[in-house]
Amino acid sequence: MDTQNLIVINGNEFTFTPGETILQVARRNSIPIPTLCHLKKANPTGQCRICVVEVEGARSLVASCAAPAGPNMVVRTETPAVVEARRLVLQLMLSSGNHNCAARVSDDNEWSRFQLEVNRYDKTDALCPVWGDCELQHLAYQYQVSAERFPKTEVPYEMEDVNPFIVRDFSRCIKCGRCVQACNDVQVNNAISFGYRGTDTKIVAAEDKALKDSDCVFCGECVQVCPVGALVEKNARYDVRPWECEKVRTTCSYCGVGCQLWLHVKEGKVVKVSGVEDVAPNYGSLCVKGRFGFDFIHSPERLTDPLIKENGKFRKATWDEALNLVARKLGDIKEKNGGDSIGVLTSARVSNEENYIANKFTRAVLKTNNIDHCARL
């Protein structure tokens, strides 16, 4: 083993490849280090400082997301100094804006009880839409941090919900910058950036326009990466809590990229779509159609019954009626005019298995090769 590329984390030796960060080595070896601003697909910014660790010989705590692992480096991820620093980061975040996940008015001892009580207020505007699914809330709980230490500061920016897909609630934003990186470094739509420096910092689209009037193309990458409740899907806000949903993984049915999706299912309905991280071809990214264009699944216009046309009008039929009619008609035409007088258009929309069956039916049953689909159109 190459001793040049050894690092010690919490007393255990690990190998690393040059260029790997401390965080990457730790995560690869299942050592938890919390992160907020860190976005796997982009370069680290070191913005939030929640991922700090102690490195022997270093003068101050080191942001593990940005610091490269070095030979014989000795790292500790959960020392009293580290914990204190993380608590301070969390206290500052919780005191800025509206983080009513029960952390802000309680002290450490009441935390669990308060969370349980607050559950009763679910479904109200007062409670954060991502309650129970928030990385900040999770860390506040883990590190038992309240917001009492610093006076609460108000966020002067109004909530924006004038577009059909994304609600931007600036009062819940922790300015971690993940959305900015998602937009500029992952999707490269370059629609949003940091604006108004200092305590007035706000994530702005163009010159602080509404998203709908900016270069935003509503891919929703920013929503997917937001660790808090600042960016939420409009159609799922308050209505969809993760513990009410089952997630089913599948492949998007729009274009040929084949993005991997999670369909979030609540009470037998698809209520939200998100991208599957860490797997090709999309690694979590989606477009506006894949992420928001799923209403057709439960549209009242869906066909629910076989239909037979009589005197120019459709009437509902049973499967037996409809299938027998189709089989008889196709059979008659085949007998009278030959299989080549029948054509089948299979579909670039249905599955491989279904196309195979259409291909087999056309050739083996109708005895013709008249099968095509709209790849040409």
Partner 1 sequence: MTNTIGDMEKADVILITGSNTTENHPVISTYIKRAVKFKGAKLIVVDPRRIKIAGFARHWLRSNLGSDVAWINGMMHVIIKENLYDKEFVNARTEGFEQLKAMVEKFTPEYVEEITGIPAQKLTEAARMYAQAKAASIVYCMGITQHISGTDNVKSLANLAMLCGNLGIEGGGVNPLRGQNNVQGACDMGGLPNVFTGYQSVNNADAVKKMEAAWGVSGLSDKPGLKVTEMLPMAHTGEMKALYIIGENPLVSDPDLNHAKKSIEHLDFLVVQDIFLTETAQLADVVLPSACFAEKEGTFSNTERRVQRVRKAVDAPGQAMDDWRITCEIAKRMGYAMDYADAEAIMKEIASVTPSYAGITYERIDYEGIHWPCPAADHPGTPILHTAQFPIGKGKFHAIDYIPPAESTDKEYPMYLTTGRVLYHYHTKTMTGKTEGLNERSPGSFVEISFKDATAYGLRDGDTVEIASRRGTITSAVKVSGMAVSGTVFIPFHFIEGAANMLTNAALDPVSGIPEYKVCAVRLAKAA
Site for partner 1 in 214-243 (CB under 8 A): 217-219, 234-235
Residue of 59, 188, 243, 313 interacting with partner 1 (CB under 8 A): 188
Q: How far is the CB of 315 from partner 1 (least distance, A)?
A: 11
Q: Which helix (H) or strand (E) holds 372?
A: strand 371-372
Residue of 60, 299, 311, 313 interacting with partner 1 (CB under 8 A): 299
Dmax over Cα atoms in the chain, in whole Å? 91
CA distance 54 to 11: 13
Which residue reads 């607050």 in tokens? 118
Q: How far is the CB of 222 from partner 1 (least distance, A)?
A: 13
Of 133-152, which residues contact partner 1 (CB under 8 A)?
none
Of 269-298, which residues contact partner 1 (CB under 8 A)?
269-270, 279-282, 285-290, 292-298
By the rule CB under 8 A, 183 interacts with partner 1: no
By the rule CB under 8 A, 162 interacts with partner 1: no
Q: How far is the CB of 279 from partner 1 (least distance, A)?
A: 5
Helices (H), 80-193: 80-95, 111-118, 135-142, 178-181
CA distance 41 to 47: 16
By the rule CB under 8 A, 206 interacts with partner 1: no
Instruction: Using the minimum distance from each CB to partner 1, give the nearer residue, 197 or 376.
Output: 376
Q: How far is the CB of 332 from partner 1 (least distance, A)?
A: 9
CA distance 368 to 345: 13
Cβ atoms of 10 and 33 closer than 8 Å: no
Instruction: Using the minimum distance from each CB to partner 1, give the nearer residue, 6 or 308.
Output: 308
By the rule CB under 8 A, 251 interacts with partner 1: yes
Q: How far is the CB of 231 from partner 1 (least distance, A)?
A: 16
Residue of 165, 170, 191, 211 interacting with partner 1 (CB under 8 A): 165
* # of chain residues touching partner 1 (CB under 8 A): 112
* CA 216, chain centre distance (Å): 17
Closest to 273 (Cα-Cα) out of 242, 294, 246, 296:
294
By the rule CB under 8 A, 66 interacts with partner 1: no
Q: Is the peptide bond before 281 cis (omega within 30 degrees of 0)?
A: yes
CA distance 177 to 358: 50
By the rule CB under 8 A, 265 interacts with partner 1: yes
**Stretches 90-98, 113-121, 125-133, 301-309: which one binds partner 1 (CB under 8 A)?**
301-309
By the rule CB under 8 A, 58 interacts with partner 1: no
3-state SS, residue 119: helix
Instruction: Using the minimum distance from each CB to partner 1, give the nearer residue, 197 or 243.
Output: 243
**Stretches 28-36, 81-89, 153-161, 366-374: which one binds partner 1 (CB under 8 A)?**
366-374
Instruction: Using the minimum distance from each CB to partner 1, give the nearer residue, 177 or 275.
Output: 275
Residue of 196, 260, 272, 311 interacting with partner 1 (CB under 8 A): 260
Which residue reads 């009008």 in tokens? 313
Q: How far is the CB of 292 from partner 1 (least distance, A)?
A: 6
Closest to 188 (Cα-Cα) out of 232, 157, 221:
221
Angle at 117 between CA 92 and CA 268, to 5 degrees: 100
By the rule CB under 8 A, 345 interacts with partner 1: yes
Tell me the HSE value of 206 on the side-chain side, using a 13 A CA sphere: 9
By the rule CB under 8 A, 303 interacts with partner 1: yes
CA distance 122 to 117: 10
Closest to 115 (Cα-Cα) out of 143, 83, 86, 138:
138
Beta pairing partners, 55: 75
Tokens of residue 239, six digits: 């209505």
By the rule CB under 8 A, 333 interacts with partner 1: yes
Buried b (16+ CB within 10 A) or exposed e, 107-126: eeeebeebbeebeeeeeeee
By the rule CB under 8 A, 193 interacts with partner 1: no
Instruction: Using the minimum distance from each CB to partner 1, give the nearer residue, 1 or 243.
Output: 243
